């Protein structure tokens, strides 16, 4: 029997869908405080994005604590509980392989603030008005 071929577009859509499902599962776990960790219970954490590798075996989860407070402490707590998150994601999504999860800090908010500050600089505004 011939193996069904997928196009690159279909493959990337699958990556996005699975990444979004993983994001929802992790967000739900954090929202419902199902992780028995004092640090994670004390902080609100946003899961901003999940990027999956093409083989769906690794997931990079980008997170940001509310107001950016205690970011390193929260990341350490998340990394300490990685096995719990991996087990929960595997059970809830019923994927062929359990994705190895890596937690990273989401720097997009900081980068957006930096760009906004640059655009509000009087010298830049002067150039944009011309």
Q: Are 37 and 81 in contact (CB under 8 A)?
A: yes
C-alpha to C-alpha distance for 121 and 18, rounded to whole angstroms? 40
Q: Which two three-digit tokens encode residue 40?
A: 């994670």
Please tell me the pTM assigned to this model. 0.77
38-91 confidence digits (pLDDT tens): 999 888 999 999 999 998 899 999 999 987 778 899 999 999 999 999 999 999
- Nearest CA-CA partner of 33 in 77, 98, 93: 77
Q: Which residue has the higher pLDDT, 83 or 116?
A: 83
């Amino acid at each position: 029997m011939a193996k069904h071929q997928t196009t690159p577009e279909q493959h990337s859509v699958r990556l996005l869908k699975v990444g979004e499902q993983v994001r929802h599962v992790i967000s739900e776990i954090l929202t419902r405080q199902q992780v028995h960790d004092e640090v994670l219970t004390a902080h609100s954490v946003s899961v901003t994005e999940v990027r999956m590798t093409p083989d769906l075996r690794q997931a990079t989860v980008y997170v940001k604590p509310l107001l950016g407070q205690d970011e390193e402490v929260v990341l350490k707590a998340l990394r300490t509980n990685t096995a719990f998150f991996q087990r929960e994601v595997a059970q809830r999504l019923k994927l062929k392989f359990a994705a190895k999860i890596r937690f990273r800090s989401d720097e997009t908010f900081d980068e957006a603030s930096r760009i906004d500050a640059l655009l509000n600089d009087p010298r830049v505004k002067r150039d944009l008005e011309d």
